[in-house]
Amino acid sequence: MSDQELIKPFIERAQAAQAKFNAYSQEQVDEVVAAVSWAGYSNAEKLAQLAFDHSGLGVYEDKVTKVKRKTMGTMMDLKKAKSVGVIDVDEATGVTTIAKPMGVIAALLPSTNASATPVNNVMITLKGRNAVILAPHPKGEPACAEYVKLARQALADLGAPEDLVQYLSLKGKDKYEGKARASELMAQCDYALITAGPANVDLGYRSGTPTHGVGVGNAPVIIDDTADLDAAIPKIVASKTFDNATSCSSENALVILDGRYDETIAALIAHGGYLTNPAEKHALQNAMWPNGNISRAIVAKSAATIADEAGLNDVAAQAKFFIVEEDGIGADYPFSGEKLSVVLTVYRVQDFDSAVKTVNDILDFMGKGHSCGIHTTNQAHIDQLAMAAPVSTVLVNQPHCYNNGGGFDNGLDFTLSMGAGTWGKNDSCENLTYKHFLNFTYLARPIPEHVPTEKELWGDLINK
């Protein structure tokens, strides 16, 4: 059976379900979203265990936290949001905005967040009266399959069409077979959401279907001369070690001003960090990039596992994370890139202008468009970084992996899919949420005519 023949019944079932869902009121849609979100939230332990057991990545307890936190935050964002029919009437312009579904959404899922991402993707797509077909990484399939079963039961209990949520296995004899199937799925759907690596994002763009992709993370974070280290260091360490750094938003590098460097390193060590010497750095690099690519034996593994792979000593094996000093950036300096591991690169810079340049150089190498951060009490420094950095998000005095995808103490939308703008070859700079899976009709009524004069439009230029 060809991929086209295999996928066609999935699409037909989704289209039939979505046609019924299209007639739902806002109240009914919100009830559906509440049901599928509760199916994930109330089974967080089961989903986290499946994700941990079959992917071998991260920390079980942190995966439970991630499912619950992301689901609760997303539900908070969606609960009162309008997504059905007339959502805005602007009397001044005479324009009424009407929200309509896109249709059938394909969602490609990563192995790193196999339990939380399916729940989030289902919530934000169903909020717009769409149907969704999840396509998990093979290592994440058991968690996804279990969640789909739970979500379908929740839909059935409401009398809603179960085929609003389906999943397609990408398991094949090799990765190329899986990618071909994913490509065909996206080609047959109305829209695609890809929360996976650059190769999969590129696959989506080449499918011919409109696609939301996400950017590569490699977040550099500045510690300036005014930073409150007592507040900053616990946040950084908690973020860096959460779920063994599966998050693309985890701090990958600290850029530290010279006057705070020594005390920052000391504080990192006091909070469980292990500072590698040059020989240990070399051994760690060889273990992490044995063939030029990041080793799967390192990604999202514990510090003890990494120490064993790199042949580091017993003291290193007992650390929470590793600190690697670096002064270079680029392909010849792999520690300057994304690591998805409990390894934190640190740079020492002379002044704030140098810090901003270092951040931008890191992002130019990897992570452009995604995010960066700063710990400071200097508003001028915040403004300078925000104006200069080619990123979608700049976090101020926050733990990066916790808050980049939305936080209870910031105003960003909760998500597991973050756009990186044209810097990252994406079509959005926003945290992807329900509004990104809506079509809009703009109903325009006549208003009193106003035709501007030449003087109104070009008077300043003409006078000059």
Residues with catalytic function: 248
Distances (CA, A) of 24 to 74, 101, 158: 21, 11, 12
User: How would you classify residue 243: left for phi > 0, otherwise alpha for psi between -120 and 50, otherwise beta?
Assistant: left
Give burial (CB, 10 Å; 0-12/13-18/19+) of 429: middle
Q: Roughly how many angstroms between the first and final C-alpha of the chain, as a whole number?
A: 71
- Supply 96's token pair: 């009424």
**Nearest C-alpha neighbor of 108 from the set 69, 146, 138:** 138
CB-CB contact of 108 with 118 (8 Å) = no
* Residue given tokens 């939308």 in the structure block: 413
CA dihedral sign, ordered 232, 71, 197, 245: positive
- 264-271 long-range Cβ contacts below 8 angstroms, 24+ apart: 264/223, 264/229, 264/233, 264/346, 265/323, 265/346, 267/229, 267/233, 268/233, 268/236, 268/237, 268/323, 268/344, 268/346, 269/323, 270/233, 271/233, 271/234, 271/237, 271/320
Q: Are 171 and 10 in contact (CB under 8 A)?
A: no
Helix, strand, coil percentages in the chain from 3-state DSSP, rounded to 5: 50, 20, 35
**48 neighbors 100 (Cβ within 8 angstroms):** no
